[in-house]
Amino acid sequence: MIMGVISQDLGKFDSFQITGLMTGMFGHERDRLVAELLSGLVVQRRPLKLDSTGVIISKVTTAAHCGQSFLDVLYTTAEIEEINAFIAERRRHEKLAGKLAVKILACEAIRRWFGVKCQPQAIQVLSPSGPPDISVPGNTRLNAQLKKLYISLSHAGDLVCAVVSCHPVGIDVEKIQPLSEATVLEICAENIWGSIINYRQRAQTAGLVPEALPIVVLTQKEAVLKAAGVGIINGLAEVELSSFALGATIDARYFGSKYEVLSIDSDGYIFSLAQRIE
């Protein structure tokens, strides 16, 4: 994967920008943190972006190692307790990486959109269940700004991705893998089968494996459910997609609300982003 980060409306993160976010750290420690963060950031061949959204994608292993190395600097006591509550090392790493991604993204969002400067280590990200809840302990004014932001987070394989928006938003990433016929039938509604069949013929020419197509639909529906503030337990079948597309936006509906959805494929993964538009 090419290293970097995609962030619509928030610009492109670089060493200068991340260094500025880490103003509370000094000398070689800050330089080492910036270098390690940059080494783990991932940019897609095609951007994952909708209006008024910012997206960050990182390797879990790199971000988690960075977070663990600066645990007491970057995370609050409540965050560390939430991370350590997980027995499985993989889940702890996902928590470390996800929280760090959200911290960086939230800091840049409030700076760009609200004109307020903040350091990632000042932001507390808690997510015992549901979407991440972000706050700055003891800062009523800044918390009022943070309440205007919507955050979504997703993990798959060694990737973690987060999105921020001023509108309800959801993101999902899944590794491309074969699904059972029963699962495919559950995911893919009849109204989009024609679009999928037509796309499959073009996809083979473009080098996209057929197994990716149901994953596209799965991630789109999961992203919509996240944007709606519910989990997949509430029913993938309730999400109605207008058509099938990869690399172009489609519309989706969930209980009367309308969403704009975009999916891209990159290095064996499907990424989908959904934002409520009405």
Q: What is the mean pLDDT of the chain?
A: 78
Give 83's pLDDT tier (boundaries 50, 70, 90).
Answer: very high
Residue 202 has pLDDT above 60, yes or no: no
pLDDT reported for residue 129: 74
Residue 7 has pLDDT above 50, yes or no: no
| Tens of pLDDT, residues 15-63 | 434 444 444 554 556 566 656 555 555 555 556 677 778 888 888 888 8
Give 234's pLDDT tier (boundaries 50, 70, 90).
Answer: low
Residue 11 has pLDDT above 80, yes or no: no
DSSP assignment string, 36-82: HHHHHBB--SS----TTEEEEEEEHHHHHHHHHHTHHHHS-HHHHHH
Q: How far is CA 29 from CA 56, 68, 70, 97, in A?
A: 23, 13, 9, 19
Domain ranges of the chain: 15-166, 172-276
For residues 73-83, give the mean pLDDT: 92
DSSP H stretches of helix in the chain: 15-21, 27-40, 60-69, 71-74, 77-84, 89-114, 140-146, 181-187, 193-206, 212-227
For residues 79-94, give the mean pLDDT: 93
Fold of 172-276: Ribosomal Protein L22; Chain A (3.90.470)
Residue bearing tokens 């499985």: 88
CATH superfamily membership of 15-166? 4'-phosphopantetheinyl transferase domain (3.90.470.20)
Dihedral angle computed from the Cα positions of residues 135, 138, 140 and 142, in that order, rounded to the nearest 10 degrees: -50
- How many CB atoms sit inside 10 A of residue 210's CB? 13
Residue bearing tokens 């009022």: 144
